[in-house]
């Protein structure tokens, strides 16, 4: 005979006045967590009581019902209702929906309270993202959604952006196939096809960290901090139809501009407009480029203009600013720390005074007729205008003022920088050179570095060595004295000068991109401009001008001039029709090593870092692994050995960034090289997190909650 299935009976539901309810002492929730009572009260006021309370009748000593009910499950809702009553937004006798269980039930009230709290399934983050998206599509603004759920507007924007990721990737995320941090990385672009393409590329590889996903999604874009973007302006770029990718989950430095071609066109148009305005002054030629190579003015004579006098209003403004500055300094002379507003004001005064130093310059019409202008962008995106350069072929046949033209300009011929436009109308040419082919090389043999790469690396070293020598007068004296002794005691070949020594500036026919913006190039340029302003405008007055300088000033100027004679360049021995021999290049590099050791030059300290552009993308895979092995250790090299060359170079750049590693052409021989070798070794600290651990990813619930909190 079949056993009858016992039927269960659900507890009845009824409305109970709030003043008949009391919080059960058996409620297990004692620690505050989740939404605050204040926010829950506001939610109830907005939406009503979504979930009923669970209550039991309170019995007296005789086991009889007292008419009161205790609340073992729903304590936070009870406290929120209590707060609304206290705020007089709810009456004490308001009816509260309750599920009433039997007072004599065999189930402990503690069990009911615990079960109510632990049996709830948490909402998957994706469900929340999609719920926000649905409300947005039905007309609620981001601000309204934020107000309804007591969240910052930025959090709502972040979750809406997450919900807008490719549906295919969201489905994978729902099955825990993608972490929340990885999903955040995909939000930097709205292109679903590109998102899916990148995921297919990384899903089975080591390279699926969020930073790697962001890099792949933005590799064809331009940083908003790029000088072209700063010059054009993001608003102008977007007005022209350009799109900017933005990362809502971490600092993106302004985002990424997705249309480089549009940006280049806008920058070129704006540069050309600036040049055309200058052309009206009557200059013979105007060269325009986003960037000029270092040494672009080599062989050109610079005309020194006359700064215009200050107007009466400008002089009065300077005096007023100086007086205010002196007054504030005196007033706060004894203060340990300046108030913020005073410190800010002093900075404003300094900036205003500095602006008067850059005076407009007057050039003679005769000079303007034969000279030209360079227009380009500085590293910070500001417009740079360098006026007054005369090409050798434009020099007058009979120079005035005792032949200044021949004495003030060099006679070198630099074909790469010769004028291509000799008219009074600006012609914009965006410079550039073809990149070296990025070929896969699976050969494990470490081949010699390409001659061009060595030449470019040593161009960096030459400038850095010049900068270092210019700050060390004693070594500069010794270096030039060494040259004197070579000429006097070992058969010099220079004749026709009272002082048989010369400084010939070296031009870099092959140079790395960005050399002009390097730390050492900027330092040399600033030092040169400072001395140029102090020296007489005419060569006829130079002797008297030098005589007026002090001994230390002589030493500083001597070191600066001597530094321009430094040539640490590697060159192929067959250049210049055989006039440069392999022995002479070898001797030059040896002397450069000795000079580097004397001044204590360290290219890493000088600011050089191995990047994909200047080294790692230009050499073979074995060379990249050798660099990582020397700079970051054998373990780091092993962990990137399986990557394709492009990814390997990118990872190597990150691993070597702060190690101080240098390629051989940038190292000093002797003690400096030994120090470099001693510093290399195994270092776990150099490894990124995703390389420092097991292959398998572990995604616990705690980690997912932590990542979601990060999104907020």
What is the C-alpha separation between 296 and 303, in angstroms, rounded? 16
pTM of model > 0.75: no
Q: Is the pLDDT of residue 395 over 90?
A: no
Predicted pLDDT at 610: 92
Q: Is the pLDDT of residue 625 over 90?
A: yes
Higher pLDDT, residue 332 or 564? 332
Instruction: Give the angle subtended at the CA of 325 by the CAs of 324 and 330, to the nearest 5°.
Output: 100
What is the C-alpha separation between 558 and 474, in angstroms, rounded? 10
456, 617 Cβ separation under 8 angstroms: no
Predicted pLDDT at 90: 92
**Buried-state track 262-292, b at ≥16 Cβ within 10 A, e below 16:** bbeebbbebbbebbeebbeeebbbbbbbbbb
Higher pLDDT, residue 487 or 194? 194
User: Any idea which of 124-138, 204-218, 475-489, 661-675 has the lowest mean pLDDT?
Assistant: 475-489
510, two tokens: 């092959």
What is the C-alpha separation between 375 and 275, in angstroms, rounded? 7
Using CA atoms, how far residue 509 sits from 328, 571, 589, 661, 696, in Å, is 53, 10, 18, 26, 50
Predicted pLDDT at 418: 38
Predicted pLDDT at 505: 59
Predicted pLDDT at 410: 40
Q: Give the pLDDT band (50/70/90) at residue 434.
A: very low
Using CA atoms, how far residue 242 sits from 161, 185, 186, 256, in Å, is 20, 21, 20, 11
Predicted pLDDT at 502: 61
Identify any residues that bridge with 69 across adjacent strands, giving them in sequence order: 21, 57
Residues 520-550: pLDDT tens digits?
888 888 888 888 888 887 767 776 777 788 8
Residues 264-289: pLDDT tens digits?
889 988 998 888 888 888 888 888 88
Residues 214-234: pLDDT tens digits?
888 877 788 888 899 999 999
Higher pLDDT, residue 331 or 504? 331
Predicted pLDDT at 302: 85
Predicted pLDDT at 474: 77
Residues 86-120: pLDDT tens digits?
999 999 999 999 999 887 776 777 777 777 777 66
409, 396 Cβ separation under 8 angstroms: no
Residues 147-157: pLDDT tens digits?
888 788 888 88
Predicted pLDDT at 87: 93
Mean pLDDT of 126-155: 86
Mean pLDDT of 353-366: 82
Average pLDDT in the chain: 77
278, 375 Cβ separation under 8 angstroms: yes
154, 132 Cβ separation under 8 angstroms: no
What is the C-alpha separation between 699 and 176, in angstroms, rounded? 8
**High-pLDDT (> 70) share of the chain, %:** 78
Burial (Cβ within 10 Å: 0-12, 13-18, ≥19) of residue 334: exposed
The number of beta carbons lying within 10 Å of the beta carbon of residue 36 is: 13
Q: Is the pLDDT of residue 257 over 80?
A: yes
SS3 694: coil
Higher pLDDT, residue 124 or 694? 124
**Buried-state track 692-704, b at ≥16 Cβ within 10 A, e below 16:** eeeeeeeeeeeeb
Dihedral pair phi/psi, residue 53, rounded to 5°: -85, 155
Predicted pLDDT at 485: 55
Collect all residues with Cβ–Cβ distance below 8 Å to 536 and sequence separation of at least 6.
542, 544, 545
Predicted pLDDT at 406: 41
Q: Give the pLDDT band (50/70/90) at residue 630.
A: very high
Identify any residues that bridge with 17 across adjacent strands, giving them in sequence order: 95
What is the C-alpha separation between 263 and 226, in angstroms, rounded? 10
Mean pLDDT of 422-444: 45
292, 376 Cβ separation under 8 angstroms: yes
Mean pLDDT of 7-11: 73
Q: Is the pLDDT of residue 578 over 60?
A: no
């Amino acid at each position: 005979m079949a056993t009858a299935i016992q039927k269960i009976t659900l507890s009845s539901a009824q409305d109970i006045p709030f003043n008949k309810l009391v919080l059960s002492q058996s409620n297990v929730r004692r620690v505050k967590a989740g939404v605050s009572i204040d926010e829950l009260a506001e939610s109830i006021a907005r939406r009503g009581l979504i979930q009923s309370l669970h209550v039991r009748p309170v019995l007296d000593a005789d086991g009889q019902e007292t008419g009161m009910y205790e609340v073992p499950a729903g304590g936070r809702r009870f406290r929120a209702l209590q707060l609304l009553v206290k705020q007089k937004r709810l009456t004490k006798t308001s009816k509260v929906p309750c599920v009433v269980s039997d007072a004599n039930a065999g189930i402990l009230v503690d069990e009911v309270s615990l079960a109510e709290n632990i049996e709830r399934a948490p909402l998957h983050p994706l469900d929340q993202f999609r719920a926000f998206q649905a409300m947005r599509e039905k007309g609620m603004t981001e601000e309204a959604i934020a107000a309804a759920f007591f969240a910052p507007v930025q959090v709502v924007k972040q979750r809406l952006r997450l919900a807008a990721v490719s549906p295919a990737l969201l489905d994978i995320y729902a099955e825990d196939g993608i972490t929340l941090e990885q999903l955040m990385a995909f939000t930097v672009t709205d292109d679903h096809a590109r998102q899916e393409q990148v995921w297919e590329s990384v899903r089975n590889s080591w390279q699926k960290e969020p930073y790697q996903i962001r890099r792949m999604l933005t590799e064809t874009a331009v940083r908003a901090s790029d000088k072209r973007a700063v010059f054009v302006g993001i608003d102008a770029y977007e007005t022209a139809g350009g799109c900017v990718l933005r990362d809502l989950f971490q600092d993106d430095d302004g985002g990424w501009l997705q249309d480089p071609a549009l940006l280049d066109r806008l920058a070129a148009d704006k540069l050309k407009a600036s040049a055309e305005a200058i052309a009206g002054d009557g200059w013979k030629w105007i060269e325009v480029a986003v960037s000029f190579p270092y040494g672009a003015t080599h062989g050109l004579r610079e005309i020194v203009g006359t700064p215009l006098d200050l107007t009466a209003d400008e002089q009065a403004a300077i005096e007023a600013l100086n007086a205010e500055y002196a007054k504030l300094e005196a007033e706060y002379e004894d203060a340990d720390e300046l108030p913020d507003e005073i410190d800010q004001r002093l900075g404003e005064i300094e900036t205003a005074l500095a602006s008067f130093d850059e005076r407009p310059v007057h050039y003679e019409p005769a000079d303007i007729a034969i000279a030209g202008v360079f227009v380009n962008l500085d590293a910070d995106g500001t417009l740079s205008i360098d006026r007054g350069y005369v090409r050798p072929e434009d020099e007058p046949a009979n120079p005035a003022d005792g032949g200044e033209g021949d004495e003030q300009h060099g006679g070198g011929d630099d074909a790469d920088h010769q004028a291509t436009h000799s008219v009074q109308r600006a012609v914009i040419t965006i410079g550039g050179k073809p990149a070296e082919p990025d070929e896969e090389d699976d050969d494990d043999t470490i081949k010699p570095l390409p001659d061009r790469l060595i030449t470019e690396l040593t161009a960096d070293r030459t400038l850095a060595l010049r900068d270092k020598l210019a700050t060390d007068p004693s070594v500069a004296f010794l270096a030039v004295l060494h040259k004197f002794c070579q000429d006097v005691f070992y058969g010099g070949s220079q004749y026709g000068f009272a002082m048989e020594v010369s400084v010939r500036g070296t031009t870099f026919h092959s140079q790395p991109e960005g050399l002009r913006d390097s730390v050492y190039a900027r330092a040399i340029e600033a030092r040169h401009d400072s001395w140029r302003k102090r020296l007489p405008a005419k060569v006829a007055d130079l002797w008297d001008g030098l005589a007026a300088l002090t001994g230390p000033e002589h030493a500083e100027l001597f070191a600066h001039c001597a530094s321009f004679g430094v040539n640490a360049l590697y060159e192929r021995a067959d250049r210049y029709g055989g006039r440069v021999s392999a022995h002479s290049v070898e001797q030059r590099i040896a002397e450069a090593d000795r000079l580097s050791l004397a001044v204590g030059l360290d290219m890493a300290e000088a600011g050089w870092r191995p990047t994909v552009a200047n080294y790692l993308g230009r050499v073979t895979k074995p060379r990249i692994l050798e660099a990582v092995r020397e700079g970051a250790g054998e373990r780091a090299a092993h962990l990137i050995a399986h990557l394709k060359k492009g990814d390997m170079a990118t990872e190597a750049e990150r691993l070597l960034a702060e190690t101080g590693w240098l390629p051989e052409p940038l190292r000093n021989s002797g003690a400096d090289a030994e120090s470099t070798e001693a510093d290399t070794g195994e270092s776990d600290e150099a490894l990124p997190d995703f390389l420092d651990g097991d292959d398998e990813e572990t995604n616990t619930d705690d980690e997912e909650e932590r990542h979601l909190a990060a999104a907020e």
